[in-house]
Structure 1
Amino acid sequence: MHFIRELPYEIATDIISYLDATSLCSISTVSKSWYAVARCNEIWRKKAARWQLNIPQHISHYQLDWYHVYKQRHILDSRWNNGRVATHYLIGHIDSVYCLQFDKTKIITGSRDRTIKFWDLATYQCTQTLAGHEGSVLCLKYNDQIMVSGSSDTTIIVWNLKTFRPIMRLRGHTAGVLDVCFNEQYIISCSKDRTIRIWDIMTGRLLKTILAHNGPVNAIQLYENKLVSASGDALIKMWDINTGECLRKYEGHTRGLACVRYDGTKIVSGSNDKTIKVWNAETGECIMSCEGHTDLVRTLNFDQDRIVSASYDQSIRVWDIKTGTCLLNFQSGHTSWVFDVHFDSTRIVR
């Protein structure tokens, strides 16, 4: 066993690099020599490469403790695989929460109580409440400068996130605003009035109105100059936001759609037909259908590995995006419908 001490360090580490992580951890307990070789930073960097980790450009990989990085990511994967979670409840809204978004420090929620609340992710306490809409806050999106919210009062409010005050209110829809998104040039909204409206983000001027569907436009997702919309008419459509031209239709759901997400190559949609479908965005082909929910699929999100969905059946499911296999199925913990869900590698917020 102590031949490892007789070999040059580079050769020893090259030999044991072929071992799996469990074996590497086991041999590190044999002796100090084995421990030193088994903890080689370069070995663990190569092991961690399978996750395609997003390391900030200003950090050199030589600065990282790759054994620690691998260990933390392995623990995280284990939690995703077995559904073991720590649950925290945010108490403050006095009615249903319809929409949310979060980042590393905060969660922002919109509610039927007509308010928008900011929550500190470290303390889970409400730090700010915004009131401005005269109806339910149905949708919101934000970046580090502004937030755009839409309401059943038919208006859109653009908020300054530095001062927490409204910048402008956009009027034009004739029914509730169901979803919003924006980029550097445009704010885009969709409504129960069956239209998609495109607004100038600087002035608030209405630039274009698209009679988009034969039913409520329940969800939209923007990627570069392409917009995907999902409707109660059971169709998904792709639009060029510069021209307003419909580029493609996606047919396959048998009932109305409630949610859609688009990343430039794939579209994932959820419907009242109780299914989730994954589409090739360019060809329009339905790649996969995920079945298991027993009621309308109200909200979903996805990344390169998984889809997370929530349904009126009060469950949250995690799906393998490559095979369609349901990896986890657990009750949301809520006593009524889940309206929105977002996730990153460490948490699901619903």
Structure 2
Amino acid sequence: MTSSEKPLESSFTETLRQLSIETEDQPNEEDNDLSTSLSPIPTTDEPLHLLVLPTEILLVIVGFLDPKFVIGKLSLVCKRFHKLVSQDAIWKMRIKKTYTGQYPVIAVDDGNFDWGQACYQIEKDCSLWSNYKENMDFYSLNCGHIASVDSVCLLQNGDICVSGSRDRTMNVWDLRKLSKTTKAESASVKSIQAHKGWVWSMTSFDNILCSASWDCWLNFWDIEADFKKVGQLRGNSAFLCPVLQKDVVMSGSYDKQIYMYDRRTDALISKLRHHKKPVLCLSADEHYIVSGSEDNTIGVYDRRANRLLKKIKMEAFPMSMSYSNGQLWAGLRNGEINVLDPTYGKFDIVQNYNIGHNGKITGINNNTGCIITAATDKTLKVLSPCHPVSELTTIDEQLQELTDLHYLNGVLACGCSDFTCGIWRPKSF
């Protein structure tokens, strides 16, 4: 057995020993009572307290505590606890006990990655979804629309859901009013005659919701002003996939272009055309605009250099994508998932997963705790966020074809072709 193949127990012991060494600095004179050094075990005449325990014992104790409590409470107790729980190695070791695969799928710079928060999210999502029928309540919002629900958007930490439909309306739902003893109608706040065409996609930024429609309009709604319309922009073709940022709104369109507008003046900044067919999905950050098209390609546009950086040929055209946490996940028409590495602008396909979908992947969410996909085969899948991915659960609540999904703060919403919107919410919500 090589050194790289040591048992997990050996690795665990070595990590504890190293952490013990790292946290046993000599105390400063000003920190005598809160020393990070290893204190001797007190005599029977001295009071027993946590700070006199060896670091190895403290690490074992911390391993049984909820990560949220450790980060938000325990780290504030004293300097020794703060130094102890601020080390990435503690959280990496804890994540390894949950998922033995490579996490995250694409290596990250430790300086820009919050391992403690990632551990909290992993344990929370794994607990919720591994036995979701016991831990989650399911609600079918089966009123308010008379056509397929093609888009959903969760707002205000999952308290509010907005559904957009082919009946040209948006429905606002207050999920806090849902219970097993009430009907879906009780959660309906209002219905908005939003567009003159299908409401195809929605996105939000701060207190603004943006809806995109086949009527060639982008409409803007003020969430805090009871969803009052506060602006609109018209294009030359149907808008299919908007992205809303602080000063810019952009959207892929049916006419194969990406439109970029200045939100402050409503002026058209530019039109990008590097696809031969409609642009179906779009993601962006301050450096890149990533677009997926029906021409079986993903285009990467460098915003700083103002040029097309790369075109990636796909096995099938991407219908959904999620770009966050230093990785790009794309759901394809053939039911597979591709993972792209955007490090240094490479955007190379580094993984391809066939997770068992028999239809088009119409929605995908990539976060530090789990990966969730929705497909036209009437199922949702919750996956581990590591390589190789493993399936936590497959959700099949007698749903019809799924059109979209949004996951926020443990709440999952999905649009369905049978005019309904599905909601999964933690029972401790």
Q: Using structure 2 for the length normalisation, give the TM-score.
A: 0.66
Partner of 2:140: 89
Partner of 1:19: 60
Instruction: From the superposition, tell whether residues 76 and 308 of structure 1 become closer, same or farther in structure 2 (CA, over 3 Å).
Output: closer
For 1:135, the aligned partner's letter is: G
Of 319, 326, 334, the residue aligned with 2:383 is 319
Matched, 1:102 2:163: no
Instruction: From the superposition, tell whether residues 201 and 279 of structure 1 become closer, same or farther in structure 2 (CA, over 3 Å).
Output: same
Matched, 1:338 2:402: yes
For 1:115, the aligned partner's letter is: T
Contact 2:259 2:272 in 1 (8 A): yes
SS at match of 1:237: strand
Contact 1:81 1:327 in 2 (8 A): no
Contact 1:233 1:257 in 2 (8 A): no
Q: What pairs with 1:52-201 in structure 2 (closer than 5 Å)?
A: 52=115, 77-84=126-133, 85-91=136-142, 92-103=144-155, 104=157, 105-124=159-178, 125-161=187-223, 162-174=225-237, 176-201=238-263
Partner of 2:321: 260
For 1:309, the aligned partner's letter is: T
1:311 CA drift (Å): 0.9
How far does the alpha carbon of each residue in 1:207-237 deviate from its partner, in whole angstroms, 9 at most, with x for none?
2112231111001011114211001111111
Q: What pairs with 1:300-319 in structure 2 (closer than 5 Å)?
A: 300-319=364-383
1:118 CA drift (Å): 1.5
Contact 1:210 1:244 in 2 (8 A): no
Q: For residues 218 and 152 of structure 1, what CA distance do their matches in structure 2 show?
A: 13
Contact 1:239 1:248 in 2 (8 A): yes
Q: For residues 122 and 341 of structure 2, what CA distance do their matches in structure 1 show?
A: 30
1:268 CA drift (Å): 0.8
How far does the alpha carbon of each residue in 1:4-62 deviate from its partner, in whole angstroms, 9 at most, with x for none?
9947323247564243679899xxxxxxxxxxxxxxx789986897374559xxxxxxx
SS at match of 2:127: helix
Instruction: From the superposition, tell whether residues 87 and 101 of structure 1 become closer, same or farther in structure 2 (CA, over 3 Å).
Output: same
1:325 CA drift (Å): 1.9
For 2:403, the aligned partner's letter is: F
Task: Provide structure 2 residue ranges, at least 5 long, that are not aligned to the other structure.
Answer: 1-40, 67-76, 96-114, 179-186, 415-429
For 2:174, the aligned partner's letter is: D
Contact 2:150 2:404 in 1 (8 A): yes
Of the structure 1 ranges 142-151 and 225-234, higher mean CA displacement relative to structure 2 is found in 142-151
SS at match of 2:402: coil
1:196 CA drift (Å): 0.6
Q: For residues 164 and 306 of structure 2, what CA distance do their matches in structure 1 show?
A: 29
Q: For residues 310 and 161 of structure 2, what CA distance do their matches in structure 1 show?
A: 34
Matched, 1:232 2:294: yes
Q: For residues 23 and 140 of structure 1, what CA distance do their matches in structure 2 show?
A: 41
Q: Using structure 1 for the length normalisation, give the TM-score.
A: 0.79
Q: For residues 275 and 312 of structure 2, what CA distance do their matches in structure 1 show?
A: 13
Q: What pairs with 1:265-276 in structure 2 (closer than 5 Å)?
A: 265-276=326-337
Instruction: From the superposition, tell whether residues 166 and 294 of structure 1 become closer, same or farther in structure 2 (CA, over 3 Å).
Output: same
RMSD over aligned Cα atoms: 3.3
Larger RCO, structures 1/2 (Cα 8 Å, 6+ apart): 2
Instruction: From the superposition, tell whether residues 152 and 86 of structure 1 become closer, same or farther in structure 2 (CA, over 3 Å).
Output: same
- Once the two structures are aligned, what percentage of the paired residues are identical? 22
Task: Provide structure 1 residue ranges, at least 5 long, that are not aligned to the other structure.
Answer: 26-40, 56-69
1:185 CA drift (Å): 1.9
Q: For residues 291 and 333 of structure 2, what CA distance do their matches in structure 1 show?
A: 16
SS at match of 2:139: coil
SS at match of 2:126: helix
Partner of 2:309: 247
Partner of 1:66: none
